[in-house]
Chains A and B, each alone.
Chain A
Amino acid sequence: SQWGEENLQALSIQEGEDVTMNCSYKTYTTVVQWYRQKSGKGPALIILIRSNEREKRSGRLRATLDTSSQSSSLSITGTLATDTAVYFCATDAGNTRKLIFGLGTTLQVQP
């Protein structure tokens, strides 16, 4: 498998709290993408971090990438109920035009 066991999680938090999700991967990638999938919808890209970056921010989102440990994290600050979704990280296995998705973290934000 491409993925470490810790990628599969379910988290339930209160609105306003901060949350961090982790993923680890086993093969080389040029980029780690984080997708959000809301119930009944397709995944939507929310942040992308390249192999030459250690951190990337976009609004309330922060992604980190450690290529030496082959791990990435996604943090959301000041969560909203509308952040409730499944969050997937995805790698490109060396830019092969084939995104490989992790198992996902189910995040429930209680209003």
Chain B
Amino acid sequence: GPKVLQIPSHQIIDMGQMVTLNCDPVSNHLYFYWYKQILGQQMEFLVNFYNGKVMEKSKLFKDQFSVERPDGSYFTLKIQPTALEDSAVYFCASSFPGDSDYTFGSGTRLLVI
């Protein structure tokens, strides 16, 4: 079936540095999402995005986080500056208007040291 691709699959970064996580959503999907999962725990909603704008963000979506999708390219999550507690797996998802089901990528494993 159609896939969401996430690049990179793993990233190790020094605390305080900037990181950009990239997501290539399913081609005809228009809604995009980021979720955060700490090892072995539940998936936590960060933000959703539609028509070039953030629709809703959770309390976990700190001021250091930003998302964008410039001109139909990658949907990105940028963290600047990173903190130790940002270490987690970040999942991107996309969905089609009118559909309830989401397609998730395989995640980017971020380790902040």
Contacts and interface: CB of A to CB of B under 8 A. Distances in A.
Interface of A: 30-31, 33, 35, 40-45, 48, 50, 88, 90, 92, 96-104
B42 A88 contact: yes
Contact of A97 (B35, B41, B48, B105): B48
Contacts of A40: 106
Contacts of B106: 40-42
Main SS of the interface on chain A?
loop
B28 interface: no
Contact of A99 (B4, B45, B50, B55): B45
Interface size class of B (residues with CB under 8 A): 20 to 34
Interface of B: 4, 31, 33, 35, 41-45, 48, 50, 55-56, 91, 93, 95, 100-107
A98 B48 contact: yes
A90 B44 CA distance: 11
Nearest to B45: A98
B33 to A, nearest CB: 8
A35 B45 CA distance: 15
Contacts of A50: 100
B48 A42 contact: no
9 contacts: A31-B100, A42-B106, A45-B103, A88-B42, A97-B31, A98-B33, A98-B48, A99-B45, A103-B41
